[in-house]
């Protein structure tokens, strides 16, 4: 009994103890244990918009219940009248616990599988999942570093030297991994700028194909011959990018050179029939369409034809062009009009001829 009393004397003013005071302290602890869940749900409902059913599944729910126990225990210990020395230690422990609580609670909000990750995946609809996970882990690591620095400062250590050391180490690492850093920055730029997404058909410089994967180091493209080309992200962001998947419509543009011996009436009939065919085609748009006799070329009459189609996939576009070309050739055959080919007539002079 004397041993227990000596322990209490070390931490509390034993003269202020009473049965009533101990009963009140016990009642506070019991009340906190009873209402901590209610208070946690109330706070989450105030700050959440997901509805009542998801409150208990919140990553903040259990930490909040623990926070109320921490606050209640701290309040009870203060109520019991700690000594001046123990009060200093108690305050420091309480602040350290608060720092740890907020550090781990905030870090949990960006963990893989959290609401933040799901929201990020919605924003980056076709980004590689590994990139989203990497972003979450990076943010989580930064939160832990900030929490550690605050904790070290709270423990009374001088963090100036630590920050300076981290700065020097960071410079050394950056110099040793410039290419890696530039590729990571390039990946972030691709994610933010969205010049393309996974599945898009693009041309990056001289490389053309379908985007298969975007990682922090490189962008992988599967070419038409089914091989995969990996391009460092630092080169991707500095290259000229053509995204064929972003086409809203495709342009059809070609010249028909009709032979000079074709009567002008027949030329006009060919021109009119081609125009009628294009105007009535379900996949050819009327805006910007024309079939014009624009010039007399060196080898024949030139009918310049241009229009747009709403067919975007390249394979389907080739099928359309196949149909259009056959129809135009049938129109030419119908009117017995022939296409001209580049030719050259050579004349010889016979100086011996009298």
The predicted structure's pLDDT at residue 49: 44
Q: Is the pLDDT of residue 192 over 80?
A: no
In terms of Cα–Cα distance, which of 108, 163, 164, 168 is closest to 136? 108
pLDDT digits over 54-91, tens only? 566 666 777 777 788 888 887 877 777 777 777 777 78
Q: Which of 164-173, 289-298, 318-327, 340-349 has the lowest mean pLDDT?
A: 164-173
Q: What's the count of helices (H) and strands (E) in the chain, helices before strands?
A: 11, 8
DSSP string, 26-55: HHHHHHHHHHHHHHHHHHHHHH--S-GGGS
- What is the spatial distance between Cα 157 and Cα 204, in angstroms, rounded to a whole number? 52
What number is the average pLDDT over the span 153-179?
62
| Global pTM value | 0.48
| Percent of the chain residues past pLDDT 70, beyond the cut | 74
Q: Among 15-24, 116-125, 187-196, 243-252, name the most confident range.
A: 243-252
For 279, the token pair is: 């105007």
Strands of 284-296's sheet in order across = 250-258, 301-309, 284-296
- What is the spatial distance between Cα 348 and Cα 346, in angstroms, rounded to a whole number? 7
pLDDT digits over 81-92, tens only? 777 777 777 788
Find the helix or strand (DSSP H, E) in which 263 lies: none
């Amino acid at each position: 009994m004397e041993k227990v009393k000596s322990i209490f004397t070390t931490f509390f003013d034993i003269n202020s103890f009473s049965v009533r005071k101990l009963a009140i302290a016990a009642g506070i602890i019991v009340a906190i244990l009873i209402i901590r869940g209610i208070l946690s749900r109330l706070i989450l409902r105030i700050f959440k918009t997901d509805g009542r059913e998801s409150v208990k599944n919140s990553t903040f729910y259990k930490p909040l219940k623990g926070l109320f126990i921490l606050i209640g225990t701290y309040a009870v210990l203060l109520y019991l009248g700690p000594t001046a020395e123990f009060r200093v230690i108690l305050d420091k422990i309480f602040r350290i616990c608060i720092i740890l609580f907020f550090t781990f609670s905030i870090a949990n909000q960006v963990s893989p599988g959290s609401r933040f990750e799901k929201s990020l995946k919605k924003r980056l609809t076709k980004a590689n999942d590994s990139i989203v996970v990497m972003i979450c882990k990076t943010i989580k690591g930064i939160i832990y570093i900030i929490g550690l620095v605050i904790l070290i400062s709270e423990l009374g250590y001088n963090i100036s030297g630590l920050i300076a050391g981290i700065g020097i180490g960071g410079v050394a690492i950056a110099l040793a991994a410039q290419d890696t850093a530039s590729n990571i920055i390039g990946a972030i730029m691709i994610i933010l700028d969205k010049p393309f997404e996974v599945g898009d058909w693009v041309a990056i410089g001289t490389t053309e194909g379908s985007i298969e994967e975007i990682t922090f180091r490189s962008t992988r493209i599967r070419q038409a011959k089914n091989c995969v080309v990996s391009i460092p992200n630092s080169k991707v962001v500095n290259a000229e990018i053509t995204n064929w998947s972003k086409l809203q419509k495709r342009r059809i543009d070609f010249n028909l050179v009709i032979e000079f011996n074709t009567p002008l009436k027949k030329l006009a009939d060919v021109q009119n029939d081609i125009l009628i065919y294009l105007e009535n085609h379900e996949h050819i748009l009327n805006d910007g369409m024309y079939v014009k006799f624009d010039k007399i070329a060196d080898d024949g009459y030139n009918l310049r034809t241009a229009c747009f189609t709403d067919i975007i996939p390249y394979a389907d576009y080739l099928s359309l062009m196949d149909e259009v070309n056959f129809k135009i050739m049938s129109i030419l055959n119908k009117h017995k009009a022939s296409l001209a080919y580049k030719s050259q007539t050579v004349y010889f002079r016979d100086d011996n001829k009298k």
